[in-house]
Amino acid sequence: MRYLPLSDADRSAMLAKVGVADIDALFADIPADKLLKAPVDLPRRKGEIEVERILGRMAAKNVPASSVPFFVGAGAYKHHVPAMVDHLIQRSEFLTSYTPYQPEIAQGTLQYLFEFQTQVAALTGMEVANASMYDGSTGTGEAVLMAHRVTKRRKAVLSGGLHPHYAEVVRTLSHMAGDAVVAAKASPKADEDLIALLDDDTSCLVVQNPDVFGNVRDLAPLAVACQARGALLIAVFTEAVSLGLLESPGAMGADIVVGEGQSIGNGLNFGGPYVGLFAAKQKFIRQMPGRLCGETVDAEGKRGFVLTLSTREQHIRRDKATSNICTNSGLCSLAFTIHMTLLGEAGLTRLARVNHANAVKLADKLAGVKGVQVLTESFFNEFTISVPGKAVDVAEKLAARGVLGGVPFSRLAPEAGLDDLLIVANTEVNTDEDREAFVAALKGAVA
């Protein structure tokens, strides 16, 4: 199909219909410093073959994660995904189109979503889970909005260990709604006094575990403090595999648990699509965003599955809707469910133990590099090191030596002033040779 661009007359007619004077007026709500001052530096037009060649040359500049020793995490992790996952997600039972409005022809979709919810509830230690969110960051924003609805308060307190991208999503949603956000200062030592930030206006405390620096946190005292203030504790995670080894957020008293499920069944994919996991206490079920699938029996007494709750404004009265999330991450949640089923509880625990053991090996080796200090005392498969100079420069030098050695924290939060911190992840895919290559490259990079 040919691309037929609009004419000036077409644009004028569209602007008149919308009721604005010019195209600039369409972007009036975007801050001026976020707008481009000039068009993107790209050729105005090229033929299809030329475009393919140009994009091919651009793609060749990337270093694929599987081609070099890879220790990048900070919210997206490289794990082994069995070939069986990609095979099974293509089966026809799961290929019903879009939303399962008609349960009689969408039993495959509804069943795996029901199983997905069961797995997420078990992993998080919570009573109910929904049929997935877009990703961990937007799920966190939805959790804060849910806490506001439950408590009738409009102030969120964020841990300084919350992933900066997740925190930014919360701030964006809160800004548009006029809600208050208070954030603790980011620190790799996890020594923040979050309880002191709680008051009678606080609707929720948002804490990540393990946090963005890799620290494993005890949420139980925070849960008690939140309950005393009438606030909710929102537990966030970015590394789902950690739930196979650490005490569940539900067991530590969390009211809402939300996070990223990419680690299980889903590859890195340049940042998406991913799958957000969302679970809560049973008493909050009608305030949960998204969808919830349930099990029932049909007129003949046979087991079946249905869409039990759907809280967006398309399905119920707009003033009663809890969220406008338009779909769940169906394919990614299916991949998650299949991988989890293949692993089983024992398999997930073994996988988590291997992740932790590999990370301990790497931390011990990196601690021996002159000028490098491992800052994270208790971690799962990710930890933070301080390096001489700027971590951004060290990461570039590591890449030049053929090692993708972590994420400089300054890339996530430039304003934090923590320029010497490098966040390092080590999963089951890393070998002893990979670790030795990292150590050798780091010695050269900080020399």
pLDDT in tens, 267-285: 998 888 999 999 999 999 9
Would you give the DSSP letter of residue 443?
A: H
pLDDT of 321: 75
E strand segments, 209-300 = 232-237, 256-260, 276-280, 291-297
Degrees to nearest 5, angle at CA 376 with 373 and 380: 130
d(CA 359, CA 410): 22
pLDDT of 327: 72
Residue 276, SS3? strand
pLDDT of 167: 98
* Tokens found for residue 286: 């009608």
Region for residue 394 given its phi and psi (left: phi exceeds 0; alpha: psi -120 to 50; beta: otherwise): alpha
Domains and CATH numbers, the chain: 83-340 (3.40.640.10), 345-446 (3.90.1150.10)
Strand pairing partners for 408? 422
pTM of the model: 0.90
pLDDT of 270: 83
d(CA 133, CA 333): 9
pLDDT of 329: 85
d(CA 10, CA 8): 5
How far from each other are the two terminal CA atoms of the chain, in whole angstroms? 56
Burial class (CB in 10 A: 0-12, 13-18, 19+), 426: buried
pLDDT of 98: 64
pLDDT of 3: 66
212-439-266-349 Cα dihedral, nearest 10 degrees: -80
Find tokens 């990703």 and name the residue. 135
Distance of CA 272 to the CA centre of its chain: 9
Low-confidence ranges of the chain (pLDDT < 50): 1
Beta carbons within 10 angstroms of residue 65's beta carbon: 15
Beta carbons within 10 angstroms of residue 372's beta carbon: 20
Instruction: Read off the amino acid at residue 63.
Output: V
pLDDT of 161: 98
d(CA 309, CA 315): 9
pLDDT of 316: 65
